[in-house]
Amino acid sequence: MFVTAFIIAIEGGDGVGKNTISNALAASLRSKSKSVAVIDFPRYGDTLAGGALKQFLNGETKRPVTAQVAAVLYALDRFEYRDDILKAINENDFVIFDRYVASNVAYQAAKVPKADRSTMMEWVADLELETFSLPRPNLNVLLRLDVAAARSLVSRKPKRDYTSLEHDVHEADDTLQTRLRENYEHIADQAMISRWTVIDVSRFGSLRNPSEICAEVERSVEELGAFAIS
């Protein structure tokens, strides 16, 4: 059977719950008889660029990695994995990306002076979607959670394959985390890349149940008229 998936990219700062929501959303959609693939980026163990990114995030690169170099590595990681992406899109009703193009746009633009941010954002989006012809998601979901709460969730994570650090080089930098949140808000507000839905992960000071957050995502998908999920 040939289908073309509805593509959802789950986005946000480090530790906001992207992995949790990606998997909970997949489980919820599968319970409604939809076929779903979840793909997370970077592909640390699968691509050459992913291997280089692992070194970078562990602070092991011998020379500084500029925002442009990082942008190319993250985009290359997806480009190397492009055939698998296209296969997943052809074989499923839904493809959920745990981070995608918008991560690169928001993070790398957070590393340049404010005056250069929008040029950087446009350059990165163009590199991924035009130069590398990566498929555009139908919906981006921004999970919004403040830096302090997200930082404490990162500490709760079990040991990760790509780093032995409790906080990798991005996670350890609170000012970067603040700037990338501003960038995500801007990108979502401008409907850059494609449509966005912005969801607050906490309410009245406590984390919301993942099933409640997933229900919000599903409502946004239904509003786009692409699928009747229930």
Ligand X SMILES: Nc1ncnc2c1ncn2[C@@H]1O[C@H](COP(=O)(O)OP(=O)(O)O)[C@@H](O)[C@H]1O
Ligand Y SMILES: Cc1cn([C@H]2C[C@H](O)[C@@H](COP(=O)(O)OP(=O)(O)O)O2)c(=O)[nH]c1=O
Nearer to ligand X, 25 or 72 (CB): 25
> Could you please report the per-residue DSSP string of 212-224?
HHHHHHHHHHHHT
Give residues 49-88 in contact with ligand Y (rule: CB under 6 A): 57, 74
Per the DSSP assignment, residues forming a β-bridge with 96 are: 8, 38
Cβ atoms of residues 193 and 103 within 8 Å? no
Per the DSSP assignment, residues forming a β-bridge with 40 are: 98
Task: Work out whether 38 is an interface residue with ligand X (CB under 6 A).
Answer: no
The partner in contact with residue 137, picked from ligand Y, ligand X, none with C-beta cut-offs of 5 to 8 angstroms by kind, is: none
Cβ atoms of residues 53 and 42 within 8 Å? yes
Task: Work out whether 160 is an interface residue with ligand X (CB under 6 A).
Answer: no
Nearer to ligand Y, 188 or 229 (CB): 188
Task: Work out whether 156 is an interface residue with ligand X (CB under 6 A).
Answer: yes
Q: Which two tokens stand for residue 67?
A: 């925002």
Q: Which stretch binds ligand X (CB under 6 A): 8-16, 49-57, 103-111, 129-137?
A: 8-16
Residue the block writes with tokens 């949140």? 181
Task: Work out whether 41 is an interface residue with ligand Y (CB under 6 A).
Answer: yes
Q: Where are the beta strands (DSSP E) in 46-172?
A: 94-98, 139-144
d(C-alpha 51, C-alpha 55), whole Å: 7
The partner in contact with residue 57, picked from ligand Y, ligand X, none with C-beta cut-offs of 5 to 8 angstroms by kind, is: ligand Y
List, in sequence order, the alpha helices (H) in 113-168.
117-126, 147-155
CB of 133 to ligand Y, least distance (A): 16
CB of 63 to ligand X, least distance (A): 27
The 8-class DSSP code of residue 130 comes to I
- Contact pick of 54, 170, 186, 208 for ligand Y (by CB under 6 A): 170
The partner in contact with residue 208, picked from ligand Y, ligand X, none with C-beta cut-offs of 5 to 8 angstroms by kind, is: ligand X
**Footprint on this chain of ligand Y (rule: CB under 6 A):** 14-15, 18-19, 41-42, 57, 74, 99, 103-104, 107, 170
